[in-house]
A and B are shown apart, each in its own frame.
Chain A
């Protein structure tokens, strides 16, 4: 028999769980219903194939592609920056660094993730872009490159920290096997440890991609707000998130079609991050218990 105190605690815990689930369901409901009425006016084909996105202009076009390429471009730059650096840091920390150093450097790195993103945004706009303009003369003052690079710096700790966890969780016997065969540290790190921890490393990268896709402030500040279909990193671009901010802060009347575009854009974003999170969850589950 449970006593009443325990029952109350159990109820309270279940209630907090319920709130989270209800909120999520609420968000999905709003996204779906608002985009549903959007798609009654704009066809899905137009939405997916039109190459212009100009819902706020007189000549209206509702093609999501420019926002997708903008999102893709900044995310790709961010991941290309963060992945090699993040994995290198993880390998250094788990395979080379002395124990004490590892213990202090890891939290220090994680501070990077605690910097408010608006600070990163201004850093990209006022420091990185002017600096890069010395090297790349025709770089616009708003551009995908600096926004992507700075976003990459922001997500380095995500990749390095999770990848380091994955490497650190490998049994010592695996490294000993490699050293025992006459392998160097470098060979042991890259031929044994990294492949053995690959599922964890891949998960860290996928989560970082999801984070980069959803990142808003940096791109809204430093990448510009021009939905142009381009893959040139020197150009200004607009990402899905930046567009949503732009409209939410503007004076678009509630209920108008322009207003509903943010839900159509939002659900697109939601689908991407949802799929990515599920992939990482699936990988984690599938490969988790390889070493008991």
Chain B
């Protein structure tokens, strides 16, 4: 089943044409990796999927994006509702300067959920999913800023999971982390795939190869190649892709 479908998406920051006619589809319960050199538009495309670029004045987009069959840029769509369905984890861990509990409960609270037992249950469930529960279960009311970088990033993942989105967008979620935390997050992605559709931007080829089902290679705003990960890494169809994944880039 098609979960995400993009048709001829073009994006601009002012005059700068940064996404050129991107079309691709992603299936539900799969992990898709976006790879490509810096500045090629990976984050821009990712942020189109939950309309995070709406706040950038110079930003303009053409083309359509459907998630679960709905045109997410339709005038009738409430962007707040969209983002509850399409969660996001950022490159740098960005927990709120609140307690761990408050961080994870934030998404539910802003939806108006007040019941303590509901919140507690959701916080526990999300922290377990994010493989952090055992480390923080006795310090839920400590500031999230007191945690290590890797733990903070897992708080952010738990925070995103707590509202039970269908899709999780991850923009280089492990780039600021040490190898052990990175491995934890990669394991996590493999587990989360059962319930979520995941899109992950990464600069780490091995990571893309390890965690994703399909990989999209972007180059200067173009989608050069999009294929099963195994296929793309072992048998790239384009020279540029081959050069990039083998590190022969120029």
Contact = CB atoms under 8 A, between A and B. Distances in A.
Contact of B90 (A177, A184, A191): A177
Contacts of B160: 180-181
Interface of A is mostly: helix
A177 B156 contact: yes
A181 B83 contact: yes
A181 B87 contact: yes
For A179, A182, A183, A184, which residue has the most chain B Cβ atoms within 10 angstroms? A182
For B81, B96, B98, which residue has the most chain A Cβ atoms within 10 angstroms? B96
B107 A181 contact: yes
For B80, B107, B110, B159, which residue has the most chain A Cβ atoms within 10 angstroms? B110
Interface in A148-190: 171, 173-174, 176-184, 187
Contact of A180 (B50, B81, B95): B50
A103 to B, nearest CB: 14
A11 interface: no
Contacts of B52: 176, 179-180
A180 B83 contact: yes
Contacts of A116: none
Contacts of A171: 94
A174 B94 contact: yes
A174 B94 CA distance: 6
Nearest to B89: A180
A290 interface: yes
Interface residues of B, number: 28
Interface string B77-117: 00011111001101010111110000000110111000000
B159 A181 contact: yes
A196 B87 CA distance: 22
Contacts of B87: 180-181
A181 B156 contact: no
B90 A173 contact: yes
A246 B81 CA distance: 63
Contact of B163 (A182, A184, A187, A290): A182
Nearest to A174: B94
14 contacts: A98-B57, A174-B94, A174-B96, A174-B97, A176-B52, A179-B55, A179-B83, A180-B83, A180-B160, A181-B160, A182-B82, A182-B110, A183-B106, A191-B110
Interface of A: 98-99, 171, 173-174, 176-184, 187, 191-192, 195-196, 290
Given A174-B94, A181-B163, A182-B82, 11 more contacts: A98-B57, A99-B57, A173-B92, A173-B94, A176-B90, A177-B94, A178-B106, A181-B84, A181-B159, A182-B83, A192-B96
